[in-house]
């Protein structure tokens, strides 16, 4: 289980989403909260149309949403978001011509209504 949703802006031309997803998955496994083989489902979406603020400065962003089954403590969720943010920062190769914002959010999925089937 968790689901990872990565969004990144199209002006980050050197951003490698597959490398980012692999890094994110490794960070999550290292947390001890998830198994490596089947637990983590991650995907990336390139955002073509976006706006950051109202100014004319060239800006972009990378945002990670981590959706977890409910029940983890606020401390565990904070540790996961801090680790994910550090992992994003380590990706490097951020363009000097773009002001880049990195962000992470952790959201709870209702444990009682979540369903999964393995085929």
Query: In this prediction, what percent of the chain has a pLDDT beyond 70?
Result: 100
Interior/surface letters 28-44, b for 16+ CB within 10 angstroms, e for the rest: beeeebbeeeeebebeb
The CATH label, of 3.10.620.30, 3.40.50.740, 3.40.190.290, 3.30.429.10, for the domain at 3-109 is 3.30.429.10
42 falls in which pLDDT band (50, 70, 90)?
A: very high
pTM listed for this prediction: 0.93
Q: Residue 16: pLDDT above 90? A: yes
Residue 11 CA to residue 14 CA, distance in Å, equals 9
Q: Beta 41-47 vs 59-69: how paired, if at all?
A: unpaired
């Amino acid at each position: 289980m968790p689901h990872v949703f990565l969004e990144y802006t199209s002006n980050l031309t050197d951003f490698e989403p597959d490398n980012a997803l692999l890094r994110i998955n490794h960070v999550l496994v290292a947390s001890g909260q998830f198994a490596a083989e089947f637990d983590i489902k991650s995907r990336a979406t390139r955002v073509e149309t976006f706006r950051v603020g109202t100014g004319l400065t060239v800006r972009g962003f990378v945002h990670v949403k981590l959706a977890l089954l409910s029940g983890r403590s606020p401390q565990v969720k904070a540790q996961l978001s801090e680790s994910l943010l550090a992992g994003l920062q380590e990706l490097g190769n951020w363009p000097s011509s773009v002001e880049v914002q990195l962000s992470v959010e952790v959201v709870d999925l209702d444990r009682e209504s979540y369903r999964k089937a393995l085929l």
